[in-house]
Structure 1
């Protein structure tokens, strides 16, 4: 690597250090494949996104046995949704990690 390339690299690293993160707004445009549009400028795919557990869907299958009379039993099975997770059309608040290669989805914007 020549002296000019070393100076360019050092300059880029200095700029990055002065501006370690950017806050951006985006919109979930697709879940499969995962795609987020940022400020109408570009689209991020799953390779560039970090999604916290708090924004993933979480549901639980519940079984309840309610016997009312001897010899008679009824079972109810249903899915209880604890967290909806991300959906198409959600407005998102994102952080761009230093270097711009990864984006953390902080939360939904309401």
Structure 2
């Protein structure tokens, strides 16, 4: 590598350090494999695209509920002060679950052809994170 090439690389690295990331806009052109045309200039696909689960099609477990199996569903409250509106009554317990581990899932539809997306490019320009749909 010559001196001129080394100087070019140093200048480019200095420039990249001043602006380590960049926002870009793109449009999905294919879903399999996912391909995005960036700023109507070039296409990216494969490992160059980092996609969060919200933009990938499929079912994903989101959370688990825990509780005491067979626990009561209401809580008794005593009345008072002689007024009928304060008579003894019961409240439904909001935190009562009938199973110890009740898995819940959400379905994400993923990106579709024609979706407009905003991308975050890393400093080297080798990876693009899909931030969301526009």
Correspondence 1:24 to 2:49 = no
Structure-2-length-normalised TM-score:
0.59
Q: Which segments of 5 or more consecutive residues in structure 1 lack a partner in the other structure?
A: 61-79
Question: Residue by residue, what CA displacement relative to the aligned partner does 1:16-48 show, whole Å, maximum 9, x if unpaired?
Answer: 001111101101111112210112111111131
**What residue is the counterpart of 2:58 in the other structure?**
58
**What residue is the counterpart of 2:43 in the other structure?**
43
User: In structure 1, how many angstroms separate the alpha carbons of the residues matched to 2:54 and 2:34?
Assistant: 17
4+ residue segments displaced more than 4 Å: none
Question: Residue by residue, what CA displacement relative to the aligned partner does 1:42-71 show, whole Å, maximum 9, x if unpaired?
Answer: 1111131111122111237xxxxxxxxxxx
Equivalent pairs counted in the alignment come to 90
Question: Residue by residue, what CA displacement relative to the aligned partner does 1:59-88 show, whole Å, maximum 9, x if unpaired?
Answer: 37xxxxxxxxxxxxxxxxxxx862111111
| CA root-mean-square deviation | 1.9
Q: Which has the larger radius of gyration?
A: 2
Which of residues 100, 104, 109 is equivalent to 1:84?
Answer: 109
Q: Which segments of 5 or more consecutive residues in structure 2 lack a partner in the other structure?
A: 61-104
**What residue is the counterpart of 1:108 in the other structure?**
133
